Amino acid sequence: MYHFITQNGFPINKLPLAMEIFFRFFMASGGKVGVVIFFSISAWFFLDKEQTIKSNLKRVWIMERELLFWSLTLMAFYLMLDRACIDAKLMIKSIAPLSMSLWWYATAYAIFLALLPFLSKGLKALGRKYHLALAITVLIIWGLTSFIPGSLGGYPSINSSLTGVFGFIYLFIIISAYKWYMKPFTLKKIGVLLGTGIGLSLLFEIVSIVLHHFGFASSFVITSDWKLPMVMIGFGIFLLFNKCTFHSQVINRIAQSAFAVYLITVYDASITLLWKRLFNLGNLYQRPFAILQILGILLAIYMVCTLLDFVRQVLFTITIDRRRGRWFELLWDMVYKQICNHSHTPIADSSSIQAQNC
């Protein structure tokens, strides 16, 4: 929904006022809330066990295989069927999707994983007092200032991978402080957190849109990356569902393909095909029950992408997943032995808690 609005070929500020408010608040801002939820799920479980250099680099290796599959498959698809959607720059990015930041989230997440063992140990070493003080500090720097346009935290994000890394570290500091040192929020506190975030977000959206329609320049800073209301809503939703005890094999099965839906639909050529040609908002918003039709279209796209990823999972199961991560293990052992052979001092094995002499 977020990319349908923000990447669409039809400017959203040309919509009727009521429809613009709905699309901006429930769809555009929902994308930033989704980033917070998506990352919170990962961070929450990272905090349950010690992070090592080897295990996290292996996560990056395994993610890179999926990135390469989709980047090369999508490149081949558009080269064969719709060359107008793809250029030389996109083809180069498709060959090296992680290092070329083809998908900002994936690249930022990979960098965060590489830094995570050091970040986690550093935060643990701070202790309760200084960790909570750090969480308050980053909330002031990136949180409170986000309400002031033009201030330190008031500029909209450019969605770059570097910005994403800092955003992930910011969230990880807050989430780890909560999980390690704070009493779990009650349902009442979670409700206050969610209500405050939603109220602030809606208020700023309405004011900004109204000012824009009256000819005043305005920027929708509250619903951009890492702004405090988005963090409050996203983490509040995560905490709310974390209190539930509910298991569904169907949901878990579909959830395995959530990342693939993102990769397929945010590929640059897919953006051009989906949101500028096939489902241009200018051709949809005047239809009867336009919002319901749009939601139906987006749900259908999500289902199709999920089914495509089911095919990818089957292919991986019968090929490279038969010995998942085996090539990484071989490469790691080879590099580690080379380091040990050329070192005259004991080296700490990152997969072990205690240092061992080579």
pLDDT value of residue 84: 86
Secondary structure tally for the chain: helices H, strands E: 14, 0
pLDDT digits (tens, 9 = 90+) for 111-123: 999 999 999 999 9
Residue written as token pair 């349902």: 187
Both structure tokens of 270: 């897919």
Ranges of residues in the chain with a pLDDT under 50 are: 154-159, 346-358
Residues 6 or more apart whose CB falls under 8 angstroms from that of 205 comprise 21, 24, 25, 29, 220, 222, 223
Q: Produce one character per residue of 307-326: b if its CB has 16 or more CB atoms within 10 Å, e if not.
A: ebbeebeeeeeeeeeeeeee
pLDDT digits (tens, 9 = 90+) for 178-220: 999 999 999 999 999 999 999 988 888 777 777 776 766 555 5
CB 141 within 8 A of CB 105: no
CB 102 within 8 A of CB 93: yes
pLDDT value of residue 162: 77
Rounded-to-integer distance, Cα 178 and Cα 174, Å: 6
CB 112 within 8 A of CB 165: yes
pLDDT value of residue 349: 46
Q: What angle do CA 266, 221, 19 make, to 5 degrees?
A: 70
Both structure tokens of 43: 């961070």
Both structure tokens of 111: 């960098």
Residue written as token pair 């336009």: 290
pLDDT value of residue 16: 84
pLDDT digits (tens, 9 = 90+) for 152-187: 554 444 447 778 899 999 999 999 999 999 999 999
pLDDT value of residue 323: 82
- Amino acid identity, residue 66? E
Q: Is 59 exposed, middle or buried (0-12, 13-18, 19+ CB in 10 A)?
A: buried
Q: Is 233 exposed, middle or buried (0-12, 13-18, 19+ CB in 10 A)?
A: buried
